[in-house]
């Protein structure tokens, strides 16, 4: 199972390579599915759908995004860039596209214009008449994280990786895109040197 290892939340003990690979700890949530923790405290991490050890990749769902969708008080909901929730060992695979979520005030003229032009889709996340979240899909992944060309005045943006082809991704399907997840990769962990004494 290296480099991943299981942690027992009740006892605090680990089962596996915790000392060798501290960033690869996996817990079982609700006794049903494995999760990788978020680097943001008190933010749900990532549900692991499957792992390919040969390709050093895994398919995951950002549980924090699903929490926002199911929150009863949307005014307290917050979307984060998925990349900031990842431990430094994990990378968003370049095969992903991005969904950009815009948290816009109702007065934002740029968002209204983009909505009229069909570039953005309304989500069901809003806070009365104060702000609403709009979505744009099919944005190519940029390993350098340069998404300034997609900024909208009066809106805070969050970048979320999703699987799919640019031809088949629609912003109106944002909930299903969250649930379908995305692909992550990891670099081979450094080999721990053992100091032998002769």
* pLDDT interval class at 161 (50, 70, 90): very high
Residue 193 has pLDDT above 90, yes or no: no
DSSP strand pairing (14-15 vs 25-29)? unpaired
* pLDDT interval class at 5 (50, 70, 90): low
pLDDT score of 92? 92
pLDDT score of 70? 82
pLDDT score of 8? 62
Using an 8 Å Cβ cutoff, are 138 and 166 in contact? Answer: yes
* pLDDT interval class at 159 (50, 70, 90): very high
Percent of the chain past pLDDT 70, that is, above it, reads: 71
Q: Between these two residues, 79 and 194, which has the higher pLDDT value?
A: 79
Weakest-pLDDT range from 45-59, 79-93, 107-121: 107-121
* pLDDT interval class at 125 (50, 70, 90): confident
Distance CA 180, CA 198 (A): 54
- Tell which residue, 26, 90, 89, 37, has the closest CA to residue 64: 37
- Model pTM above 0.75: yes
* Mean per-residue pLDDT, 65-87: 81
pLDDT score of 1? 52
Q: Between these two residues, 50 and 6, which has the higher pLDDT value?
A: 50
- The strand order across the sheet containing 121-127 reads 121-127, 131-140, 97-105, 155-162
Domain range list for the chain = 63-186
178: DSSP letter = H
């Amino acid at each position: 199972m290296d480099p991943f290892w299981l942690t027992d939340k009740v006892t605090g003990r680990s089962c596996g390579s915790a000392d060798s690979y501290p960033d690869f700890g996996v817990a079982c949530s609700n006794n049903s599915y494995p999760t990788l923790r978020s680097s943001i405290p008190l933010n749900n991490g990532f549900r692991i759908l499957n792992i390919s050890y040969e390709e050093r990749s895994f398919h995951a769902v950002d549980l924090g995004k699903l929490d926002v969708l199911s929150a009863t008080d949307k005014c307290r909901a917050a979307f984060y860039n998925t990349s900031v929730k990842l431990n430094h060992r994990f990378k968003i695979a370049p095969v992903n596209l991005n969904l950009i979520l815009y948290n816009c005030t109702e007065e934002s003229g740029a968002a209204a214009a983009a909505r009229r032009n069909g570039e953005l889709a309304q989500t069901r996340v809003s806070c009365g008449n104060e702000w609403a979240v709009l979505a744009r899909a099919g944005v190519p992944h940029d390993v350098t994280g340069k998404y300034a060309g997609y900024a909208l005045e009066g809106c805070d943006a969050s970048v979320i990786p999703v699987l799919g082809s640019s031809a088949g991704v629609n912003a109106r399907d944002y909930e299903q895109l969250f649930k379908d997840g995305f692909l992550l990769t990891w670099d081979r962990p450094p080999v721990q040197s053992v100091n032998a004494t002769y």
